[in-house]
Amino acid sequence: MLVLGKAGTAGTEKRVLPVLRGGVVVATLRASNWKEAATAVVGNREWVLAKARRELTGRWAADPEGTARLRARQTSFWRGTWEADLEGTPVQAEVVSRWKGGHRYRSGGRVIAETGTTGGWSPRPTLTADESMPLDHQVYLLWLALVMSRRDEAATMAAVAGGAAAAGGS
């Protein structure tokens, strides 16, 4: 299982999130706080992860801008479903639980990965994936989990703020 660690821990720089497997750093993620963008380092390869139009994409830093080796787009806001393409492998994502969150990723009719959280006061995204899935793809799905959790948090805050404004206006 991969766990997205706290920034600046496990020997990483101040704003860098370690990607941990069994407590060992296997990759790093420098995620933007303001945009749906990040830079991931997996082994000796650097990935540029970003929002391009309605898709969340991933490309090697050496690839020309506008290309995408990895991509995902939300197909239904209400059902929380997504479709992804991991370097030619089509993947569908569905919500595991409305209460606990997390997504289940399927390809060819079988489950290949599932996201969740660590729990506690400051939950962090986790990913449990099929052993055959490349680490690059796992890190991309972990970043997607981070983006999805931030979107959910923003929607919750907007709903709370809207409810407070409506209550105050009566």
Contact criterion met (CB below 8 Å) for 93 and 105: yes
Instruction: Identify the pLDDT of residue 101.
Output: 73
Q: Measure the CA angle with vertex 149, ends 146 and 153; round to 5°.
A: 140
Kindly tell me if the per-residue pLDDT of 165 is higher than 80. no
Kindly tell me if the per-residue pLDDT of 104 is higher than 90. yes
What mean pLDDT, rounded, does the chain reach?
Answer: 89
Closest-CA residue to 26 (of 98, 117, 133):
133
What CA–CA distance (Å, rounded) separates 18 from 26? 8
The structure tokens listed for 112 are 């290949």
Over residues 37-58, mean pLDDT: 95
Give per-residue pLDDT as tens, 6-36: 988 999 999 999 999 999 999 999 988 778 9
- DSSP H helix total and E strand total for the chain: 1, 12
What CA–CA distance (Å, rounded) separates 74 from 59? 19
Q: Is 97 exposed, middle or buried (0-12, 13-18, 19+ CB in 10 A)?
A: exposed
Ranges 16-20, 75-79, 157-161: which has the least confidence: 157-161
Name the pTM for this structure: 0.87
What CA–CA distance (Å, rounded) separates 129 from 115? 9
Q: What percent of the chain has pLDDT over 70?
A: 89
Over residues 84-109, mean pLDDT: 90
Kindly tell me if the per-residue pLDDT of 109 is higher than 80. yes
Q: Beta-strand (E) ranges in the chain?
A: 2-4, 17-21, 24-31, 37-42, 45-52, 55-60, 70-76, 81-86, 89-95, 103-107, 110-117, 125-129
Instruction: Identify the pLDDT of residue 11.
Output: 92
Concatenated DSSP letters of 14-27 = TT-EEEEETTEEEE
Kindly tell me if the per-residue pLDDT of 170 is higher than 60. no
Q: Are strands 125-129 and 24-31 parallel, antiparallel or unpaired?
A: unpaired
